[in-house]
Amino acid sequence: MTSLSGGRAFAALAYAFAVTMMGTTLPTPMYVIYQGRFGFSITMSTVIFATYAFGVLAALLAFGRWSDALGRRPLLLAGLGAAIASDVVFLLAGNTGALLVGRVLSGLSAGIFVGTATAAVVEAAPAGWRSRAALLATAANIGGLGLGPLVAGALVDWLPWDVHLAFLVHLGLSLIAVALVWWVAETVDVVPGSRPSFQRLAVPAKVRTTFVAAGTASFAGFAVMGLFVAVSPRFVAQALTSPSPAFEGLVVFTVFGASVIAQVALRGLPTTRAVNAGCALLVVGMLVLVWGLQTESVPLMLVAAVAAGSGQGLSFSKGLASVLAKVDPHERAGVTSAFFVVAYVAISLPVIGEGVAAQHWGLTSAGTSFSAAVAALAALALISLVIDQRRDRSA
């Protein structure tokens, strides 16, 4: 069999990217089931979710640039190996500790894929797709994250083996991805004797003001993502008489789906206008969520998911673009890594705080406080960005 190249390689890599990211959100509709079986608190539930982000950070910092020296394919296969190992751990899980191990492995798989797969998808794109390749890589990334809870919720709701079938399905999809990546042609020229290096975080002084403003917006957006993935199924279950894992998964999918659609539909919007609009949508989404939580209205939660997801997509993608536009090419890798570190800290630490608060004050009060704080943070980011933009125009 000959190596896959061109459009087939592009499709294979995009598939592997989506499947790997899908696995990282697969357990979302099952946390309530696990809690009932293993007897852990809501705080531990958020810790189990957030452990994934620490795995992502470890992989980003340790392996972020290894594919430049070793090639894309070996790193992608390693990421798929971590994803498969995570599936096996969840299939055999009999206690809370196993869930934590499974989430760390899942985070490692995502951390390897975020940088390596994005680069591989862009490099493998046919000439006619080259201008849209980065956007399609983002769609595979965020779309995969959204598919996880949607697919798992449907399987939990409608088929047997509630906490096992989804991981069996994902295991099969991942093995297909391994076969495809194995036959994909390498997209970089590996220099013999090259040694992998650790990723260095660096934010040049000339871009720090913009980085802080855009990073604050990104922090707010990813904190919203963490809230919806880790805790929103409980919000929905609390609001409905007969909660459905499939519907809970749909709410989470709505956030990620809105993020992808906003990035694709508004890709032509100027960077400054887009990132400002993203921050504004985050504020609106969080205020609507406060309203929905206070009234236990699922329709309002869905509206909040659409607004907040759209805001997250715009504020992150265009915020990063606004930062990278001001740095030299050789500085982009370090700045991008620093931006992703901000994002994944945001998806982990705040949601653990939400879990602790919910344990003491109740889910509604904690969710309301969290949403109001994120709205204030997004508003602060918007103000900072506007000030920075005016300073650039007057310079």
Q: Does residue 16 have a pLDDT over 70? A: yes
309-325 mean pLDDT: 85
pLDDT at 78: 95
182-186, 194-198, 363-367, 369-373: segment of lowest average pLDDT: 194-198
Smallest Cα–Cα separation from 392: which of 257, 230, 213? 213
User: Which residue's entry shows tokens 């994803």?
Assistant: 83
Looking at residue 135, its amino acid is L
pLDDT at 284: 95
Smallest Cα–Cα separation from 148: which of 256, 8, 290? 256
Hey, what are 345's tokens? 């800290």
Q: Does residue 319 have a pLDDT over 90? A: no
Size (the chain), residues: 395
2 band by pLDDT with thresholds 50, 70 and 90: low
> Dihedral sign, CA of 272, 120, 61, 344?
positive
Smallest Cα–Cα separation from 165: which of 254, 87, 67? 87
Q: Is the model more confident about 319 or about 173? A: 173
DSSP 186: P
Hey, what are 351's tokens? 């949601």
pLDDT digits (tens, 9 = 90+) for 164-223: 999 999 999 999 999 999 999 887 777 776 677 776 777 888 888 888 888 888 888 888
Q: Does residue 133 have a pLDDT over 50? A: yes
Mean pLDDT of the chain: 86
Q: Does residue 388 have a pLDDT over 80? A: no
128-132, 272-276, 350-354, 366-370: segment of lowest average pLDDT: 128-132
H/E run at residue 288: helix 271-295
pTM: 0.86
128 band by pLDDT with thresholds 50, 70 and 90: confident
CA distance between the termini of the chain: 59
Count CB-CB contacts under 10 A for residue 54.
Answer: 18
Residue 393 CB contacts under 8 Å (≥ 6 apart), including other chains: none
What are the two backbone dihedrals, phi and then psi, of residue 184, each rounded to the nearest 5 degrees?
Answer: -75, 140
Looking at residue 375, its amino acid is A
Smallest Cα–Cα separation from 26: which of 2, 8, 52? 52
42-48 mean pLDDT: 86
pLDDT digits (tens, 9 = 90+) for 229-247: 877 777 777 776 666 788 8
Q: Residue 184: beta bridge partners?
A: 4
Domains parsed from the chain with CATH numbers: 1-187 (1.20.1250.20), 200-395 (1.20.1250.20)
pLDDT at 330: 64
pLDDT at 167: 97
pLDDT at 139: 87
pLDDT at 217: 86
Q: Is the model more confident about 334 or about 285? A: 285
pLDDT at 1: 45
Q: Is the model more confident about 101 or about 293? A: 101
pLDDT at 395: 60
Hey, what are 105's tokens? 């492995």
4-8 mean pLDDT: 78
Q: Residue 4: beta bridge partners?
A: 184
Hey, what are 116's tokens? 């390596």
DSSP string, 96-141: HHHHHHHHHHHHHHHHHHHHHHHHHHHHHS-GGGGGGHHHHHHHHH
15-29, 161-175, 220-234: segment of lowest average pLDDT: 220-234
18-24 mean pLDDT: 95
